[in-house]
Structure 1
Amino acid sequence: MADFGPLSLLPPLLAIILAIVTRQVLLALFAGIWVGAFMLALAGAAGPAGYAVSVFRATSQSLAWIIENATDSWNATILVFNFVIGAFVGILYVSGALHSVAAALTRKVRSARQASLLAYILGWTIFFDDYTNTVVVGNTVRPLTDSLRVSRELLSYIVDSTAAPVAGLLIISTWIGYEVGLIRDSFTTLAEEAGKGVLPYAPDPANAMYAWIMSVPYRFYSILALTLVLIVILTRRHYGPMLEAEHRAVKTGKVLRDGAQPLMPTETVLGEPSQKQAPPWIFPLSILALVAATLVGMWLTGADDPSKWWETDFATALMNADAATALLWGSFAGYIAAAALILATGTLSLSRLMEYTVRGMYLMVLANTILLLAWSLKSAADAVGTADYIVSTVAAAGVHPFLIPPLIFAASAFISFTTGTSWGTFAIMMPIAIPLAWKLAIQHGLDPATTELVTYAAIASVFAGGVFGDHCSPISDTTIMSSMFTGADHIDHVNTQIPYALTTAAVSLVLYTLFAAGITHPAILLPIGVILLAALHRLLNISYAKRRGLPPVVPNYVLQEV
């Protein structure tokens, strides 16, 4: 592979900048893919004729990456899962089941603040997988938040902020097996070096789970992201484009701006719901089927012996589960349950049910195309060495071990934002962060307990930085799916969320810097972080509101009794 140096950053950065500037996500993503392919083609070209041929080679390689990602087993399963979810949403929408639930919830949830808080609480409830989180919370709350004038931008932010951050923090989730495995691999490498006498001591690979637990209090970004969204909900204070979006929603009732292009254009594609609305209990029963089948699927696919899956401990199975397959099973179970109940109640005829099954799948065409191109852009970034360049730049700087966490956090955040993948960032950075922290600590003569502490913080900084990109990158699959299932314009979601994500990342970096300065206990660092976050939130809110000539506090819309 040719060494492109700083130019390796060009494909993902071009895609991100074009997406934000032009608001044409498909064009931006393909441009990033094609530029990456063109760089590869040019590296082997010679003379004018070679340069001309490179144009065709770049196009061919771009299409090859798209096909490769479309036929990848995991990716294909996610694409089919999205189509099934689209069908599921389609029949629930047109049957009126979603509207019945919204009407039932409205009897208890009467204000915009209460609706936003409900979304936040549900986001914590669906903790075991970030994809399932966006599906369930987005579809459940959207009709209610629409009726209570909560902008789609705010709903997307809430859903996105309780997806990856929650799944990455809790001990029972589809993330933990992968994360613990990465830690164990790095510990094993260090143990082998210690066995050869290269290191005086090394961590025990059997303690990988313990190291994961000890890293949790240092995952400042995830913890503070969840804190900030709660502050935003309770205070109704915003800054950046979100302030304007919320004032628009409350003042005009427009939960989407004029000209917005939601990833799930539900109302445009599906039209008006059936005059005979399905009873509200159909929706929760369908969601229950979806969640139950997903959990059983994770248990079964992660079991030591699938034929006796119940004999494997659920938490152990969850660490090894095939989340994509489980989600597909869950979405299909939810669709079947909804279809059966809708037909049984006579809300829709079989022919109309099948018509809106297909229309529901059509809802996902744009979103699935964006996902496919985002995955292909990662292939382009891998091919030109985007992540390798960033990692080598950080690793080459000789630094004190206590500086490793802030440097690793910054590098991981940048990699995850430019590549759109948290798990990919984990895979890239963990084999660098753990040995780097451990070896530098030994070289500087730190005692074993302090060496372990620095390593735990380094582990946390990888996970925290990876979640940053997963949370807010316009090419992240979780960001895309948050836009998708809340029915938001994707670029509007990104533009309104990034100021909050950057605020959280800035405070997180301050905490890692304080760690480097010698303040290492999370019981001290986290309260400092919360205070800084609350103060910065208030300062930015007042400053932005003043510049835009808007009230700093968005009125809490309350549904009046009829």
Structure 2
Amino acid sequence: MGDFGILSLLPPLVAIGLAILTKRVLFALFFGVWVGGLLVAGGDPVGATTQTLKWIVFNIASAWEENGQIVTDLWNTRILLFDALIGAGVALIYKAGGMNAIAKAVTRKIRTSKAASLMAAIFGTLIFFDDYTNTIIVGNTMRPITDRARVSREFLAYADDSTAAPVAVLAVVSTWIGYELGLLKDAIASVGESISAYSAWFASWPYRFYPILAIILVYLVAITHKHYGPMLKAEYRARKEGKVLRDGAQPMMTTEVDVGMPIEGKESVWVFVLPVLTLVALTFLGLWVTGGGSATYAEGGFQAVLSNADSTWALVWGSFGMVVVAMALVIGMKIMSLKEVEETVVAGMKQMHFAMMILILAWSIKSACDAVGTADYVVSVASNVLSPGLVPLVVFIVAAFISFTTGTSWGTFAIMMPIAVPLAYQLSGSFGSVVYASIASVFAGGVFGDHCSPISDTTIMSSMFSGCDHIDHVSTQIPYAVTAAAIGALMLVLFALGVTNGWLLLAIAVLLLIGAHYLLSEWYGKKVGIPHGRVPVYIVEEEYKGKGGTIPAGAVLGEE
């Protein structure tokens, strides 16, 4: 890895800037990778192109060079296979009418756009054990429900994304915590302390301001129907015009076009329920088996199993099982012929190609960033101006920047944890609140940057499974993410000033978040001519007994 100094920021910044300016994500990502190749090749454009293609091929094959040898780890390959299988499974369920059946069943209870929005947030919180599984299940389950309720795809993608990584990073049992504990264990050992990784993890929990506030903000906007920024316009468009996507939007999954309209007259909720339950059950079984099963459980409990599990194999097993069960149901119930099943499976895999290309290029730009030392440069600059109280704030900012520019929260955790813990420990002189807040800031900053980044795999997958235009998702989500992050950063400023009780700071942060949401929605609503930033409530039932009596279907109310 060469020392490129400030030039190491070029690959991610070029990719992100072009993605926002041109709205052509593939072009932007490829050019960002190529700029990294240009740096590595010493300015030779032919060498840059060769290096770019090499990174792309290596990321498809899950390979890299180490000491002149090619090393393989099929993580990326399994994710691509998983995406293809999920596309096939979703297409089968959709084509057979499973999604319509579940939408009709749930709509009996979800009568308004407000209820649909809130349901998306609740459902996302309940799928806490894995961020990828969350985006798949929530996006696909809620999409027909929110579409029917005239909730914008932008909001669905936001609710999906804000209850994926933010929930997983806080959950006591998840595919994330094993990785987090492993990093913590090594970092603690590096400073010579014997404190358990679990106790440090729990002690850091109240300082994780960003993910906690991000989740709360989803509920605030869902319950109040008050928005600001581009999301207000998107939600107002959906309610008033019935357009869940803006004119000209390019959703990452266009199931209706690629697969065709659902078969009518044979809908069954079981075509949806059984494949999804198979996905969840086999994913958990995969985590159990790859994590060592009963032998590992006897030594360290279920969390030890998750710590050792390979989530990508588990997801491949779960998605394959989902496809098999869906195929058996649609053939057994005589909803589709074998020929139709084959065509639908191929069409479902086909509709994932665009998203898979983005994932490959997102991984490739991380390779470019690693090659030019983007993360090392950012860390070296930030570590020169620290006092003990400021360590958590600076760690949060640096982690957020690394995560945003590389598109990976886990990669950021791996980079920052070995630096943050020893740094906080040495400057503070003890394993106390400064260290715990710094641990939390690694996690919170990593999730925040990843949450905002257009080159993040979870951001991409949220757009994908919600059927949203990717840039529309990023642009509508960022104002909310920045709100939660700004308040979290303010709490770290208070920490530096001497207010070190995590639970007290969290309580202050929640109150500030409620106030900020109110003021921003009032201000932006006034600016664009939508009073209080509140979008109307849309009634989706044939008849709804509201406060003022019976309300006809299709009514759009200013307040429920």
Counterpart of 1:367 in structure 2: which amino acid? A
Q: CA deviation at 1:560?
A: 3.5
In the aligned structure 2, how far is the partner of 1:304 from the partner of 1:134? 26
2:399 is matched with 412
Q: TM-score, normalised by structure 2?
A: 0.93
Runs of 4+ in 1 over 3 A off after TM superposition: 308-313
- SS of residue paired to 2:182: helix
Alignment check: 8 A CA contact 1:278 1:345 kept: no
1:385 is the counterpart of 2:386: no
1:540 is the counterpart of 2:483: no
Query: For 1:251-266, what aligned pairs fall within 5 Å after superposition?
Result: 251-266=240-255
In the aligned structure 1, how far is the partner of 2:49 from the partner of 2:271? 48
Residues matched between the structures, number: 530
In the aligned structure 2, how far is the partner of 1:123 from the partner of 1:527? 23
**Which blocks of at least 5 consecutive residues in structure 2 are unaligned?**
63-73, 544-560
2:11 is matched with 11
Alignment check: 8 A CA contact 2:121 2:160 kept: yes
2:318 is matched with 330
In the aligned structure 2, how far is the partner of 1:112 from the partner of 1:336? 34
In the aligned structure 2, how far is the partner of 1:154 from the partner of 1:500? 11
Change in CA separation of 1:510 and 1:309 when aligned onto 2, cut-off 3 Å: closer
Of 342, 345, 355, the residue aligned with 2:333 is 345
Change in CA separation of 1:515 and 1:480 when aligned onto 2, cut-off 3 Å: same
Alignment check: 8 A CA contact 1:95 1:276 kept: no
In the aligned structure 1, how far is the partner of 2:209 from the partner of 2:407? 20
Alignment check: 8 A CA contact 1:100 1:277 kept: no
Q: CA deviation at 1:452?
A: 1.7
- SS of residue paired to 2:93: helix
Alignment check: 8 A CA contact 1:178 1:319 kept: yes
Of 373, 377, 387, the residue aligned with 2:361 is 373
Q: What per-residue deviation string (whole Å, max 9, x for no partner) do you get for residues 283-336 of structure 1?
A: 11111111000001001001167xx67767433211211001101100111111
Alignment check: 8 A CA contact 1:165 1:222 kept: yes
Q: What per-residue deviation string (whole Å, max 9, x for no partner) do you get for residues 411-461 of structure 1?
A: 10111011100000001101110000000112xxxxx4xx42211110000
Q: What per-residue deviation string (whole Å, max 9, x for no partner) do you get for residues 88-120 of structure 1?
A: 011111111111110111111111111111111
Q: Please, what is the CA RMSD of the aligned residues?
A: 1.3
Alignment check: 8 A CA contact 1:97 1:277 kept: no
- SS of residue paired to 1:2: coil
Change in CA separation of 1:326 and 1:479 when aligned onto 2, cut-off 3 Å: same
Counterpart of 2:52 in structure 1: which amino acid? S
Alignment check: 8 A CA contact 2:108 2:541 kept: no
- SS of residue paired to 1:169: coil
Of 482, 491, 508, the residue aligned with 2:471 is 491
1:459 is matched with 439
2:553 is matched with none
1:427 is matched with 414
Counterpart of 1:59 in structure 2: which amino acid? T
Q: TM-score, normalised by structure 1?
A: 0.92
2:116 is matched with 115
Counterpart of 1:70 in structure 2: which amino acid? I
In the aligned structure 1, how far is the partner of 2:214 from the partner of 2:176? 18
Counterpart of 2:286 in structure 1: which amino acid? G
1:555 is the counterpart of 2:536: yes
- SS of residue paired to 1:104: helix
Alignment check: 8 A CA contact 1:394 1:407 kept: yes
In the aligned structure 2, how far is the partner of 1:154 from the partner of 1:427? 31
In the aligned structure 1, how far is the partner of 2:380 from the partner of 2:13? 19
In terms of fraction of residues, the more helix-rich structure is: 1
In the aligned structure 2, how far is the partner of 1:411 from the partner of 1:119? 31
Counterpart of 2:406 in structure 1: which amino acid? T
Q: CA deviation at 1:270?
A: 1.4
Q: CA deviation at 1:277?
A: 3.1
1:525 is the counterpart of 2:513: no
In the aligned structure 1, how far is the partner of 2:439 from the partner of 2:502? 14
- SS of residue paired to 2:268: coil
1:67 is matched with 57
1:279 is matched with 268
Query: For 1:75-224, what aligned pairs fall within 5 Å after superposition?
Result: 75-191=76-192, 203-204=193-194, 207-224=196-213
In the aligned structure 1, how far is the partner of 2:392 from the partner of 2:503? 17
Counterpart of 2:260 in structure 1: which amino acid? G
In the aligned structure 2, how far is the partner of 1:115 from the partner of 1:320? 37
Alignment check: 8 A CA contact 1:300 1:309 kept: no
**Which blocks of at least 5 consecutive residues in structure 1 are unaligned?**
43-50, 192-202, 443-447
In the aligned structure 1, how far is the partner of 2:411 from the partner of 2:266? 44
Alignment check: 8 A CA contact 2:107 2:541 kept: no
Q: What per-residue deviation string (whole Å, max 9, x for no partner) do you get for residues 128-178 of structure 1?
A: 100000011111111100000000000000000000000000110011111
